[in-house]
């Protein structure tokens, strides 16, 4: 065999090797009768006996003790294994998108201690602030549980009470133990979502909307 033919055979061998597909990383993370939950290269799939497989992986049999799979033509037995794809997954972040309303204000419905409340966001307010009528409607006995303080409003100094709000929720973002402020009289006319809540979330001003995202 001359050197040219030897080189051609060598080159063909190299090219054939390059075309070999590596076996996927397979783990069986759930076992059922004639079905199995598997991860293939980190992605979850439910495989069933008699149905086409996924990514070169086919389920041949399964019960509570283990599963038999055909992986790229090779038959292999699997026991139940930990699902590392779940352990390493990024947590789903809770986000709320609030459109900009009239006058450039951001308003959204939420709740305080499980009671529905329409909020106006106010980064100039240090606390979640409300007037005494709003507090009574929410069942907040501010004169009993609150600490009396003095607050400055557009009309001057007024009596107010610092309180702790068990739960404040906006969209899916519910935070606990939030400082609130109850002002005697009719001011503010809207419940203000102030910095005692907003400082505990990320805020992204998109000009026409404001995105709140829970911190983890």
Confidence of residue 112 (pLDDT cuts 50, 70, 90): very high
Q: Which comes out higher in pLDDT, residue 82 or 161?
A: 161
pLDDT band at 85 (very low <50, low <70, confident <90, very high): low
- pLDDT of res. 3: 54
Confidence (pLDDT) at 22: 63
Return the pLDDT at 41.
86
Phi-psi region of 162 (alpha: psi -120 to 50; beta: other; left: phi over 0): beta
Count how many Cα atoms sit within 13 Å of the Cα of residue 175 in the half-sphere of its side chain: 21
What DSSP letter does each residue of 66-105 carry, written as one string? -EEEEETTEEEEE-----HHHHTPPPPPPEEEEEB-GGG-
Q: Which helix (H) or strand (E) holds 161?
A: strand 156-170
Q: Of 15-19, 20-24, 27-31, where does mean pLDDT reach its minimum?
A: 15-19
- 18-22, 78-82, 103-107, 182-186: segment of lowest average pLDDT: 18-22
Q: What is the 3-state secondary structure (H, E, C) of 22-64?
A: CCCCEEEEEEECCEEEEEECCEEEEEECCCCCECCEEEEEECC
Is residue 19's pLDDT more than 50? no
Give the whole-angstrom CA distance, residue 119 versus residue 130: 10
Class of 95-214 in CATH:
mainly beta
Identify the bridge partners of residue 203 per DSSP, sorted by sequence position.
212
Residue 188 burial (CB count, 10 A): 18
For the chain, what are the domain ranges? 3-87, 95-214
Distance (Å, rounded) from C-alpha 56 to C-alpha 136? 64
Tens digit of each residue's pLDDT (9 = 90 or more) over 121-149: 999 999 999 999 999 999 999 999 999 99
Q: Which of 132, 175, 184 is nearest to 153 (CA)?
A: 184
């Amino acid at each position: 065999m001359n050197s040219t033919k030897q080189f051609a055979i060598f080159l063909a061998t190299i090219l054939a090797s390059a075309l070999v597909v590596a076996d996927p990383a397979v783990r069986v993370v759930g076992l059922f009768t004639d079905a199995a939950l598997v991860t293939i290269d980190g992605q979850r799939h439910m495989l069933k006996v008699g149905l086409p497989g996924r990514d070169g992986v086919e389920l041949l049999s399964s019960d509570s003790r283990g599963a038999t799979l055909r992986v790229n033509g090779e038959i292999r037995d699997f026991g139940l294994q930990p699902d590392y794809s779940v352990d390493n997954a990024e947590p789903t972040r809770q986000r709320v998108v609030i459109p900009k309303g009239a006058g450039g204000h951001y308003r959204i419905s939420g709740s305080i201690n499980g009671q529905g409340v329409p909020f106006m966001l106010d980064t100039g307010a240090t606390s979640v602030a409300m007037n005494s009528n709003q507090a009574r409607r929410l069942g907040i006995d501010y004169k009993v549980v609150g600490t009396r303080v003095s607050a400055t409003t557009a009309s001057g100094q007024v009596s107010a009470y610092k309180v702790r709000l068990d739960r404040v929720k906006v969209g899916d973002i519910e935070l606990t133990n939030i400082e609130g402020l109850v002002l005697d009289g009719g001011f503010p006319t809207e419940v203000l979502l102030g910095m005692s809540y907003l400082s505990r979330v990320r805020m992204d001003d998109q000009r026409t909307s404001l995105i709140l995202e829970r911190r983890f």
